[in-house]
Amino acid sequence: MSAGFSDFPPSFLFLFFLSKIIMKGIVFDIRRFCVHDGPGIRTTVFLKGCPLRCIWCHNPESQEIKIETIQKVHSFEGKKIAKNEQIGKNISVDEVMKSILKDQVFYSESNGGVTFSGGEPLSQPNFLQELLQLSKSNGLHTTVDTCGYSETAHFEAILPFTDLFLYDLKHPDPQIHKKFTGADNRLILQNLKWLSAQNTKIIIRIPVVPGFNDSEKVMNQTADLLKELAKNLLEINLLPYHEMAKKKYERLGKPFALLPSVKVKNENLTIFKELFENQGFKTKIGG
Amino acid sequence: MNNRIKQLRENSLNATNRISAERALLLTEFFKSNVAQQVSQPVKRAMAFDYILSHKIICINEGELIVGERGPAPKATPTYPEVCLHSLTDLEILHSRPKVPYVVDEDVREAYRNEIIPFWTGKTNREKVMANMQPEWIEAFEAGVFTEFQEQRAPGHTAGGEKIFKKGMLDIQQDIETSIAQLNFFHDPEALNKREELKAMHMAASAMIKYAQRYADELDQLANSENDSKRAAEYRNMANICRHVPANKPRTFHEALQHYWFIHVGVITELNPWDSFNPGRLDQHLYPFYAAEISNGSLSKDQAVELLQSFWIKFNNHPAPPKVGVTALESSTYTDFALINLGGVKADGSDAVNELSYIMLDVIEEMRLLQPSSMVQISKKNPEYFVQRAVKIIKTGFGQPSLFNTDAIVQELIRQGKSITDARNGGASGCVESGAFGTEAYFLTGYFNLAKILEITLHNGIDPQTNKLIGLKTGNPLTFKSFSDLMEAYALQLGYFIDLKIRGNNIIEQVIANNLPAPFLSLVIDDCVANGRDYNSGGARYNTSYIQGVGLGSITDSLTALRYHVFDNQSVTMEKMLEALKNNFVGYDELRYTLIHETPKYGNDDDYADQSATEVFELFYNAVNGRPNSRGGYSRINMLPTTCHVYFGSKINALPDGRKAKEPLSEGISPVQGADRNGPTGVLKSASKIDHIRTGGTLLNQKFTPSFFKDDESIAKLAQLVRSYFRLDGHHIQFNVVSAETLRDAQKHPEKYRDLIVRVAGYSDYFNDLGEDLQNEIIRRTEHENTF
């Protein structure tokens, strides 16, 4: 017989809930009015830390699971004013929830909700689970934007509190995947297969990166893989790579990998979209 | 758009804005006559109205279907010397100013020099107003604490109700006769005044019937000499229409439009009321005519569209009467603020959107004209498709239609004491002002500079621009021990200046009631006829005097900066802050950086930053709301600036929010330009913390780049954003859809962007017609960019 809450003394229960509320994690941004990270109007919480090191990563400040300090030089009235800026904040579940709930009226009007992104949100599995659970208990639609590289048990833990997964699929080939992201894709594919078997809602997101996966061959292989692994996908989003993060790398003092051609051709995107559509996938360019 | 409309539109766009001396000369002739000396003031004004309408040039433009022009030609704009007399210098300014000029020909100057100026000097309403103002009022006015709407124009503002479409002039004359018959000379001490007023109204109605008759005669003549048989038939049809309306109530769609247009021309010829006149709920008023004719086959949808487009062009032919000095600064535009309302709810509270609402949206999109302004009322009962249709037009980037919350407007009006039916029949006119259409005289009395009050408070009653003591001595700010000491001093100063303003309003309203009765306008606004009282002296069912608060974002951020740095964190001394302000931050770059970038700001849904917004709002509301005016009604607040935030900014030195001297203040209830960093939901949440329901209108602008409207899904999300704001009781929101790059390019190459229309503040204007400071300010307003 499992123990119900009533079996514990009240003081224990109090401490139990207190520990949940004061649980902290590292968040590097909370953005409101996000309209590309799931249905409706959403707030996206960006958790810091990522197991991958994709060379095109547009959020390089999200990779390390620790607070970083960078120096930003602002031009102000023709002068340079240098300011230290802290990337990431150690923040409690309670504080994050307060921010999320600020836009409740917008969520209910638009059938929106909250999205957890990163980094890789599952880099902080307990923190994420807590946030998801509290979001659900506030009646919010929840989305997790994941690279898929995490223990399957972590997915299992958050599954009951997650309405939608935005699941990245970068490359079907384990070796190339490893070369460009620092890890091979076996765990990612395994998790996708498992998730898909749970009948949960999944949108596959494919960053289209020149010189990495922007060929019909790779996209065909990806489509085949998806047909094999994931039966009930909602749709596929093709996200064209952009160079907007270049400045961020400079500020972080990290090298920005120069890719052979920096802009994805629109024609290619259309070809890829048709390719997936011909295989029976609903496909969209952009998130 | 068919060829006729294309041509009419082109002619309207190409017509030159110029001053016409026609009205001023006719008025002068009449006022010089003996008869003018022998009658009561209302009758004199009615006779003057009759004289003008009987002698003005009958203007019928090539190809048009709706006739009636205020001046002798499109955009030939009359003056109103009985209200405000332009000097020869004023005329030269109008003629030669780079922005919003009006061409003044030599014959107009001649007429002014020889006839108009000699006669009207010393007799104008403006001089009577100024002679009655106390010196403290003049000082505050000159310091830029408040402006005065009734200085150069007659009181606004009003919108027609359904009565206009249900009664002809003859019907109203019958009502007048009934009112006269019921006058009680035994018990009513005002009976004689009422009889004179009613007589005047009766004469004004006759004058209008005769004016339409002149059009009918001219149209018949044109028909006789017209070779094109099709156009000749049109002339005959139009002549018949002008014989029927406005004497009688309209029977057809075409008659209804012509009927309204005659009344519109009448109202803006009689006087130059602030915000011209307004057909109000046009889709509601016209629908019965439309539906009946569509079902009996006498009108096709295409014909209805063509007539509506012709009607739209008539508005565009009528720029605002020219303003000079401070009045030109507070509202610098050709727009005369007729604001067509679509959607909303019916008198019984049900969804009012009908087929015509959509047709009119099509017309708005296709005509793409500065005038009339248009808006959609959005009630929770209106279909989503209607909202999305409106957002799709906004996407095209000319600032129309603006979006209003019907459910808030109805509550606002009911709170002010209107019946639920009158409230539901109401809407917004001008920029964003709530009113009970057809039953209310709501005068905008002046903008009030909420930020200037802080500057005066921080200088112990002295205006640092002039070093004159113009306020109360509320204490040296260096002696303030807490933030609440500061707020107490601010509240005292605010109360003092509001008292000055309201006292002035009540005097001005009496001067106008005696001097400038408007018997023609009184015909169409209930219950002027039944009450035997003029629109300008409390004849309407509801009589409201609005004071418009300006600079909410600037005052909020300035107070927050003081609270945060000087009192709560004690990181900056009051002394240092005052020194920095005095030096316009020269030598205080670090401090200014901190004030701008490291201080909580209004517009981010941060309760700490937004607290001062609600505090200032409550102070302003409590100082104004419910104070009696001199027309049997009450003073109320609303929050809108038109272009006054630029003028008000020019009267203030540096402010604690980091704004430098003379820069514009924030506009409406929008955050300070660039202060909102948390996206639109943060702005909307902050803006909804003040209680819109206790205002008579608030104005919120949000600038979006076109990428935000890229597909139906994005448009749906914007519609949901609006709906959410309205759930929070937001009154109005408008989107500016244009990229900053486009605007910068337009500044550099104005010739390439002659048609670029942007949302300014409660109205749209040609970007080229805006002053450079206003252009810069619009560029700076936060662009909400979406990232991938």
Nearest CA among B77, B89, B40 for reference residue B198? B40
Contact B685 A102 (CB under 8 A): yes
Residue of chain B whose Cα is closest to the Cα of A106: B724
Question: Which chain B residues have a beta carbon less than 8 Å from that of A40?
Answer: 717, 720
Nearest-angstrom CA–CA distance, B138 and B84: 17
Beta pairing, strands A68-76 & A79-87: antiparallel
Q: Touching check for B727 and chain A: CB below 8 Å? A: yes
Contacting residues for A55 by C-beta, under 8 A, at least 6 apart? A180, A181, A257, A259
The tokens for B550 are 């300006």
In this prediction, residues B411-427 reach a mean pLDDT of 98
Nearest CA in chain B to A243: B788
Q: Does position B38 have pLDDT exceeding 70, yes or no?
A: yes
Tokens coding B54: 């009987």
User: Is B58 touching A (CB cutoff 8 A)?
Assistant: no
Predicted local distance difference test score (pLDDT) of residue B417: 97
User: Bridge-partner residues for A236, per DSSP?
Assistant: A204, A283
- A/B interface, count of CB pairs below 8 Å: 66
CB atoms within 10 A of CB B568: 13
Cis peptide before B372 (omega within 30 of 0): yes
Q: Do residues B21 and B107 lie in contact, with contact meaning Cβ atoms separated by under 8 Å?
A: yes
* Segment (H or E) for A25: strand A24-34
pLDDT band at A257 (very low <50, low <70, confident <90, very high): low
- Please name the residues in contact with B614: beta carbons below 8 A apart, sequence gap of 6 or more: B689, B690
Side-chain-side CA neighbours of residue A277 (13 Å): 10
B388/A contact by beta carbon, under 8 A: no
Rg of chain A over all Cα atoms, to the nearest angstrom: 20
Q: How many CB atoms lie within 10 A of CB B325?
A: 12
pLDDT over 50 at B326, yes or no? yes
- What is the per-residue pLDDT across B701-719, written as a single tens digit (0 to 9) for each? 887 767 678 788 889 999 9
Q: Average pLDDT of chain B?
A: 94
Find the range with the poorest average confidence among A236-250, B217-231, B255-269.
A236-250
From the list A81, A112, A239, the residue facing B593 with the nearest CB is A81
Average pLDDT over residues B609-631: 98
CA distance A5 to chain B (A): 36
Beta bridge partners of B766: B757
pLDDT of residue B779: 80
Nearest to A186 by CA among A152, A231, A146, A234: A152
* Per-residue pLDDT band at B588 (split at 50, 70, 90): very high
- Interhelix angle B282-296/B355-367, nearest 10 degrees: 110
Query: What would the mean pLDDT of A36-63 be, rounded to a whole number?
Result: 91
Residue of A75, A110, A166, A237 for testing the chain B interface, max B β-carbons within 10 Å = A110
Structure token digits, residue A65: 């699971």
To which H or E segment does residue A20 belong?
helix A10-21
DSSP A34-96: E-SSSSSSEEEEEE---S---TT-S-GGGSSSS-EEEEEEEEETTEEEEEEEEE-EEEEHHHH
Q: Which residues of B touch A81 (CB under 8 A)?
A: 589-590, 593
Summarised one tens digit per residue, pLDDT across range B634-662 is 999 999 988 899 999 999 999 999 999 99
Average pLDDT on B681-699 reads 97
Strand positions, DSSP E, A147-272: 164-168, 201-208, 235-240
Distance from the Cα of A79 to chain B's closest Cα (Å) equals 9
Find, among B379, B434, B421, the residue nearest to B544 by Cα: B434
What's the burial of A137, exposed, middle or buried (CB within 10 Å: 0-12/13-18/19+)? exposed
What's the pLDDT score for residue B759? 61
- Inform me whether the pLDDT recorded for A284 exceeds 50: yes
- What is the distance in angstroms between the Cα of A96 and the nearest Cα belonging to chain B? 14
Chain A residue numbers touching B733 (CB-CB < 8 A): none
Catalytic residue among B431, B440, B455, B663: B431
Q: What is the pLDDT of residue B764?
A: 61
CB contact B592 to A (< 8 Å): yes
Mutant choice from A41, A100, A108 vs B, greatest count of B C-beta within 10 A:
A41
The DSSP string of B244-307 is HTTTS---SHHHHHHHHHHHHHHHHHH--BTT-----SHHHHHHHHHHHHHHHTSS-HHHHHHH
Concatenate the DSSP letters of all residues of B430-444 into one string.
TTTEEE-TTTEEEEE
Query: Which of A32, A109, A287 is closest, CB to CB, to B678?
Result: A32
CA distances from B760 to A121, B151, B767 (A): 43, 23, 9
The residue among B757 and B255 whose pLDDT is bigger is B255
The residue of chain B nearest to residue A75, with distances taken between CA atoms, is B593
Three-state secondary-structure class, residue B446: strand
What is the reported pLDDT for B763? 61
Contact B608, B560 (CB under 8 A): yes
Q: What is the pLDDT of residue A248?
A: 65
Listed range (A256-270, B91-105, B409-423, B698-712) with the worst mean pLDDT: A256-270
Beta-bridge partner residues of A81: A74
CA distance B600 to B609: 5
pLDDT digits (tens, 9 = 90+) for A98-134: 999 999 999 999 999 999 999 999 999 999 999 999 9
Segment B473-499 shows an average pLDDT of 98
The region, left, alpha or beta by phi > 0 then psi within -120 to 50, assigned to residue A38 is left
Question: B597–A74: do the CB atoms touch at under 8 Å?
Answer: yes
Cα A52 to its chain centre, rounded Å, is 12
Residues of B in contact with A114 (CB under 8 A): none
Q: How far is A204 from chain B (nearest CA, A)?
A: 15
State how far the Cα of A219 lies from the Cα of A271, in Å rounded to an integer: 10
Q: Tell me which of A277 and B763 has the higher pLDDT.
A: A277
Nearest to A102 among B593, B605, B720 (CB): B605
3 state SS of B583: coil
Q: Do A286 and B723 touch (CB under 8 A)?
A: no
Q: What is the largest CA-CA distance in chain A?
A: 72
Q: Considering B69, B255, B433, B455, which one is annotated as catalytic?
A: B433
Dihedral pair phi/psi, residue B775, rounded to 5°: -60, -45
**HEC-encoded secondary structure of B111-132:** HHHHHHHHHHCCCCHHHHHHHC
Nearest to B280 by CA among B173, B151, B433: B433
Lowest mean pLDDT among A46-55, B744-753, B755-764: B755-764
**Chain A residues with CB inside 8 Å of B788's CB?**
36, 58, 239-240, 242, 244, 286-287
Alpha-helix residue ranges (DSSP H) falling in B431-482: 450-457
CA distance B306 to chain A (A): 37
Distance, in angstroms, between B429 CA and closest chain A CA? 28
The chain B residue lying nearest A285, using CA atoms, is: B788
Tell me the average pLDDT across B317-325. 88
B714 interfacial to chain A (CB closer than 8 Å): yes
Predicted confidence at residue A246, as pLDDT, reads 63
B724/A41 CB distance under 8 A = yes
Please give the class, per CATH, of domain A24-285: alpha beta
- B637's enclosing H/E stretch is strand B634-638
User: Which residue of B712, B713, B784, B788 to mutate against A (max A Cβ within 10 Å)?
Assistant: B788
pLDDT at B420 over 90: yes
Q: At what angle do helices A10-21 and A93-101 cross, to 10 degrees?
A: 70
Q: Which is nearest to B365 in space by CA: B703, B1, B734, B740?
A: B1
Nearest by CB to B723, which of A76, A77, A109? A109
Q: Is the pLDDT of residue A20 over 80?
A: no
Phi, psi of B717 (to 5 degrees): -70, -35
What CA–CA distance (Å, rounded) separates B377 from B281? Answer: 10
Among the partner residues B590, B593, B681, nearest to A33 by beta-carbon distance? B681
Cβ–Cβ under 8 Å, residues A124 and A90: no
DSSP β-bridge partners for residue A91: A25
- Is B433 a known active-site residue? yes
Domain layout of chain A by residue ranges: 24-285
pLDDT of the residue at A3:
45
pLDDT at residue B602 tops 70: yes
Q: What is the pLDDT of residue A211?
A: 85
**Chain B residues whose beta carbon lies within 8 Å of the beta carbon of residue A263:** none
Nearest to B593 among A41, A76, A110 (CB): A76
Helix runs in B516-550, H state only: 519-524, 528-531
- Residue whose C-alpha is closest to residue B211's, from B254, B250, B262, B160: B262
How many CA atoms within 13 Å lie on the side-chain side of B134? 13
Closest Cα to residue B501, out of B669, B631, B410, B635?
A: B635
Distance CA B57, CA B69 (A): 9
Q: For residue A142, what is the enclosing H or E element?
A: strand A141-146
Mutation to test the A interface, candidates B678, B684, B782, B783, most A Cβ within 10 Å: B678
Q: What is the predicted pLDDT for the residue at A12?
A: 64
CB-CB under 8 Å, B717 with A31: no
Are B123 and B82 spatial neighbours (Cβ–Cβ below 8 Å)?
Answer: yes
pLDDT tens, residue by residue, B161-188: 999 999 999 999 999 999 999 999 999 9
User: Are the CB atoms for A213 and A206 separated by under 8 Å?
Assistant: yes
Task: Calculate mean pLDDT across residues B258-267.
Answer: 98
Look up B59 and say whether it is catalytic: no
Categorize the per-residue pLDDT at B768 as very low, low, confident or very high, splitting at 50, 70 and 90: confident
Amino acid at B764: S
pLDDT of residue B785: 40
Q: Would you call B720 an interface residue with chain A, using a CB distance cutoff of 8 Å?
A: yes
Contacts of B380 in chain A (CB under 8 A): none
The residue to which tokens 């197991």 are assigned = A51
Q: Do residue A76 and residue B589 have CB atoms under 8 angstroms apart?
A: yes
A115: which strand partners? Answer: A44, A143
At B782 the pLDDT is 43
* Bridge pairing between strands A283-285 and A235-240: parallel
Across the interface, do B784 and A102 touch by the CB < 8 Å criterion?
Answer: no
Q: What are phi and psi of A253, to 5 degrees?
A: 70, 25
Question: Are B788 and A41 within 8 A, CB to CB?
Answer: no
Residues of A in contact with B717 (CB under 8 A): 35, 40-41, 110
Q: Please give the model's pTM, rounded to 2 decimal places.
A: 0.93
Counting residues of chain B whose pLDDT is more than 90, the rounded percentage is: 84
Q: Is the pLDDT of residue B669 over 80?
A: yes
Residue A13 has pLDDT above 80, yes or no: no
Cis ω for the linkage preceding A119 (within 30 of 0): yes
- Give the Cβ contact number of residue B587 at 10 Å: 11
Instruction: Tell me the chain B residues in contact with residue A286 when contact means C-beta distances shorter than 8 Å.
Output: 788
